[in-house]
Chains A and B, each alone.
Chain A
Amino acid sequence: MTGDDETLLLLSAYADGELSPGEVLAMERRLAAEPDLRARAARLRGLSGAVRATLAEVPAPETLRGRIVRQIGFADPEPRRSRLGAWPALAATLVAGIAIGASLGGIVPLGTAEAPSPVGEAVLAGHLRGLAAPQPFDIASADGHVVKPWFNGRTTIAPDAPDLSDRGYPLVGGRIDIVDGQPVPTLVYRHDRHVISVTVVPATGGAQAGEARRDGTFLERWEAGDLTYWAVSDLNARDLRGFVELYRARTARPR
């Protein structure tokens, strides 16, 4: 009985792909030698298929999602209008604005800024996609000591993430953007209702610091060490410049 009991367990685990390589080898040897065992293995496989189909047949009610969403809305102890409450609307407005703006003309370089680079386009796209998503970040944290290490292993760059909330630019999180086919880190800050993305890419050299504008979105770029930083936001150019100066001052290496 005990031997059979063990065979039953092994056979079931074999069907589930949960045996160790050595056990698999032993089981396959036994299967080759014992027709009865092969028949049992076949029955188990047949059963699995039938069980799977039966379990999945249960219809999930279509109203469930709506009820859950309403319930979470009601269960929310804080007023609906939180500081970030306007994000979805803001994102929708922005996306609509971009769509309209795109038909009127592309990026408008400001002042001495040169034509936007493919990197700039990718950075801008990451920012806009972040706004269109339920949230503009992959990790939510106001703590730079949480955000910075989060990038380790996900990107080759882990930028400093100073909290600038004392100057009205709280850190809200970080996300991964794809620029030039590579995952790169983006820090997300907030200023009132505006979202600021700071995307950090390896410096390509040559390009000077500069800024560009696309509809209501400003891009500001600067180099530090062997990295190029892009700040993207729908903030006005002056406030974005203020943010950039603040960020640069806080991340400057004392030397």
Chain B
Amino acid sequence: MTTLARARFSQLVLPRLDEGYRLAHWLTGNATDAEDVMQEACLRAYRAIETFAEGNARAWFLTIVRNTGYSWLQRHRPRAVIFAEDLAPEARAALDAGSGLAEAPETPEATLIARDEAGRLGRAIAALPVPFREALVLREYHGLGYREIAEVTGVPIGTVMSRLARARQHLLERLAKDGR
């Protein structure tokens, strides 16, 4: 019943286009590719809409966007899709929590990272490896809990926890370094 499918689509998916788009944008790194990913993700969501029963429509749709984004990355940026376990040594070192603690910034830039730093922060986020970036986006922008992030990204909760902690530590170090 395609009218039903369309009705459900407009109820479940259309209100979530903007947040889906922002996930796609932060995954692919630019607007054009994000739109491509969204178009494909919406088609996938539409085809699957009748099998989506009850539950968390938001996490369901974000999972589709995320997986579509990953397929896109694998096709077009195979090098970007690095999973935590096979991180290149230098990337692993950069994200290793221990490495930066000794030189953690002493300045209380802490409470507020000034607005003019937003550009630098954006670049630092974009430079994070994909698994760390997506955890950060799903947490900070989409406001998902660890359990939901684990479901969307298909990893254990403990991995979500450590990716978030490392991503944040890395960002703080990057900002501190740039600030000098």
Stretch at the interface among A6-14, A209-217, A232-240, A245-253: A6-14
Contacts of A48 in B (CB 8 A): 140, 168
B136 within 8 A of A: yes
Q: Which of A61-69, A121-129, A200-208, A221-229 contacts B (4 or more CB under 8 A)?
A: A61-69
Q: Total number of A-B contacts with CB less than 8 angstroms? A: 147
**Interface status of B179 (Cβ within 8 A of chain A):** no
Q: Mark B109-122, 1 if CB is under 8 A from A, else 0.
A: 11111000110011
| Contact indicator B140/A135 (Cβ below 8 Å) | no
Q: How many angstroms between the C-alpha atoms of A82 and B154 in the bound complex? A: 38
Task: Quote the shortest CB–CB distance from B93 to chain A (angstroms).
Answer: 13
With A12-B165, A53-B118, A61-B31 as known contacts, state yes or no: A87 contacts B3, CB within 8 Å.
yes
CB within 8 A of A52: which of B109, B122, B140?
B140
Tell whether A244 is near chain B: CB-to-CB under 8 Å. no
- Among B4, B31, B122, B146, which residue has its beta carbon within 8 angstroms of that of A57? B122
Q: Is B145 an interface position by the 8 A CB rule?
A: yes
Q: How many residues of A contact B (CB 8 A)?
A: 50
The answer for the CA separation of A82 and B101 in the assembled complex, in Å, is 63
B125 at the interface (CB under 8 A from A): yes
Determine whether the beta carbon of A50 is less than 8 Å from that of B118.
Answer: yes
Nearest opposing residue in chain B for A40, CB measure: B104
9 closest residue pairs by CB, A with B: A12-B165, A135-B7, A55-B141, A50-B113, A43-B110, A60-B18, A84-B3, A1-B98, A42-B110
